Amino acid sequence: MNKTRGILYYRSDDTELRERLDWDKLSEDEKKDLCWKVKRFGKLGWFKTKSICPPDRYWEGEIDNGVPNGQGIFYTPESYSEVEFYNGSKFEGTYENGESKEGTFTWSTGNKYIGTFRNNKIWNGEMIYADGEENTTYVNGAAIKKYDEPLTLINAQSRGHFS
């Protein structure tokens, strides 16, 4: 076991851009366009170095065999994504073999998910909304609504099935 603490960057492999002989001759707009394509369509992986197209998402915590494994924090920096609520978000918890397993994911809006993950997706836990909206419970990756109990004559009527 080779467990250490440190920082890993979760990004696309920009080796192709680093090896371009004309990189320094490209305009800033051309560089941004190429970086956008690599970020958007490149295969993501864990790297010890930052990309040439910052900002990068990154893990700060326990590392084993080149991937997050153990306790730490995964950050999505400001201005990372075109999807605004991801910017400034973070996950605090446990990773296992490079994937989130259990902890708290907090979006920049203040919404939080607390629970477990499977294949880096919400699995069993609770979504807590900053605006006071009623919390959502997740079981096996599916949102469970209060109304998910079987229909009976009484609860069917209360849900507007009969008037």
In the block, residue with structure tokens 């065999």: 65
Residue-wise pLDDT tens digits, 93-139: 999 999 999 999 999 999 999 999 999 899 999 999 999 888 999 99
In the block, residue with structure tokens 């467990």: 3
Residue-wise pLDDT tens digits, 12-48: 999 999 899 999 999 999 998 999 899 888 899 999 9
Residue-wise pLDDT tens digits, 47-79: 999 999 889 999 999 999 999 999 999 999 988
Which regions of 2-80 does DSSP assign to beta strands (E)?
Answer: 4-12, 44-47, 57-64, 67-75
Could you write out the DSSP letters of every residue in 113-133?
EEEEEETTEEEEEEEE-TT-P
pLDDT of residue 150: 57
Using DSSP, state whether 102 is helix, strand or coil: strand
Residue 151 reports pLDDT greater than 60:
no
Residue 82 reports pLDDT greater than 60:
yes
- Note whether 16 and 38 are within 8 A (CB): yes
Residue 152 reports pLDDT greater than 90:
no
Domain range list for the chain = 4-158
For residues 27 and 152, give the distance between their C-alpha atoms in angstroms, rounded to a whole number: 66
Q: Confidence class of residue 163 from pLDDT cuts 50, 70 and 90?
A: very low
